[in-house]
Amino acid sequence: MERQVALVTGASSGIGEQTALELLRRGFTVYGAARRADRMTPLVDAGGHAIAMDVTDDASVRAAVDRITAEQGRIDVLVNNAGYGSYGALEDVPIDEARRQFEVNVFGLARITQLVLPGMRARRSGTIVNISSIGGRIYEPLGAWYHSTKFAVEGLSDSLRVELEPHGIRVVVIQPGAIRTEWNGISRRSAVERSGATAYAAQARALVRALEAADRSSAATEPHVVAATIAKAATARRPRTRYATPFSAKFIVGLRRMLPDRVFDLVIHRVFAPTKADLAAGEAHSAEGRSSDGERVAA
C-alpha cells in the first residue's frame, strides 16, 4: 500500500513538531512547514521533509503545496496547526496586530486548505485537521483577538465539514488545553507589551500569572499527548468531529456547555482576579488611558 502523505504546519515547535514526528512513526510521508526551517532538523533526521513557509504569504504557501504535489502526487492529511496567541486589552491592541492574528490563525489556515482541496476532491478522499483550542469555546479577559480567531476556526471547520462530506473529505477539530510549548511565553509577552503599562495593567499581571501557572509542570500537558490525538483523528476511519485533549480540556469545554454565561463569567473572574499587589501596580497606569503602540515593559 502507498504511504499516506501528510502536511503539518507549525512543525518547528510544540504540537506541530510532535505531530509531524508521530505521523512519521505511523508510516506517513511527512512534510513539516514553518518559517524557521532550521528548527525542523529533528524531523529531517527522522526521515521527514522540512519546508520554509509563512502561512501569511501566498507565494510561499503555494510553493510548498506545489512541491509536495510534484514530489508525492498528493496530500492525504493536512494538519493546520500554525498559530500564536496575541493578548492584550482590546483597547490597547493596534488593529494591525489584530489583523495579523487573523492572518496567521484563520486566513493562513484557509489559504493552505484552498490549495490542498482540489487534489483531495479529485481523489474523493482526505482529512483536514484544524487545531483550534479550548479557547475556541471559552474566553479570557485580554484575550479578545486570540479567542476570536479560535472561535472562527470552530465555525469555519463546522461549515467546511458539511461542505466537504459529499466530496469524501473529513474535517476534524482539535481543542488542546494548556500544553507546554512556546505558545505560553509568546502569549504572556504580548499581554505585557500591549497592556503592561495601561489602564489594564492589573488585569495583565493577573493574566500573566494565570498563564504562568498553567505552564507549570503539574498543570501543563506535554505536546506529544496532543500529537497522539491528532494522529488518531487523522487515521480514524470515522473520526469524531471534535477532540478536546487532555481530559482537563474536555472537562472545561463540558463545563462551559453546561453553565450560563453569567455563571461562567464568575469562574473566569475568579481565575483571573488581580491581587492587591496587581491593583496597586496597575493604579499607576489607570489614569494614563491608551498605551503607545508597541511600548515594552519588563515581564
Ligand X SMILES: NC(=O)c1ccc[n+]([C@@H]2O[C@H](COP(=O)([O-])OP(=O)(O)OC[C@H]3O[C@@H](n4cnc5c(N)ncnc54)[C@H](OP(=O)(O)O)[C@@H]3O)[C@@H](O)[C@H]2O)c1
Asked if 183 interacts with ligand X (CB under 6 A), we say yes
Spatial contact of 224 and 16, defined as CB atoms under 8 Å apart: no
C-alpha cell at 62: 503555494
Cα 134 from Cα 272, distance rounded (Å): 16
Indicate which residue of 132, 157, 187, 195 is catalytic.
132
Q: Among this protein's residues, is 217 annotated catalytic?
A: no
Asked if 216 interacts with ligand X (CB under 6 A), we say no
Q: Among this protein's residues, is 250 annotated catalytic?
A: no
List 12, 72, 101, 245, residue binding ligand X (CB under 6 A): 12
Cα 35 from Cα 10, distance rounded (Å): 8
Among residue numbers 249 through 268, which ones bind ligand X (CB under 6 A)?
none
Pick 30 or 131: Cβ nearer ligand X: 131
Asked if 101 interacts with ligand X (CB under 6 A), we say no
The distance of closest approach from Cβ of residue 170 to ligand X in the complex, given in angstroms and rounded to an integer, is 19
Q: Among this protein's residues, is 146 annotated catalytic?
A: yes
For Cα atoms 279, 281, 287, give the angle at the middle one, nearest 5 degrees: 85
List 35, 67, 189, 232, residue binding ligand X (CB under 6 A): 35
Asked if 88 interacts with ligand X (CB under 6 A), we say no
Pick 136 or 282: Cβ nearer ligand X: 136
Contacts (Cβ under 8 Å, ≥6 apart) of 7: 31, 33, 64, 65, 68, 75, 77, 78, 79, 112, 116
Cα 37 from Cα 13, distance rounded (Å): 11
Contacts (Cβ under 8 Å, ≥6 apart) of 254: none
Which residues carry out catalysis? 12, 132, 146, 150
Catalog residues that contact ligand X under the rule CB under 6 A: 9-16, 34-36, 39, 53-56, 81-84, 104, 131, 133, 176, 178-179, 181-183, 186, 223
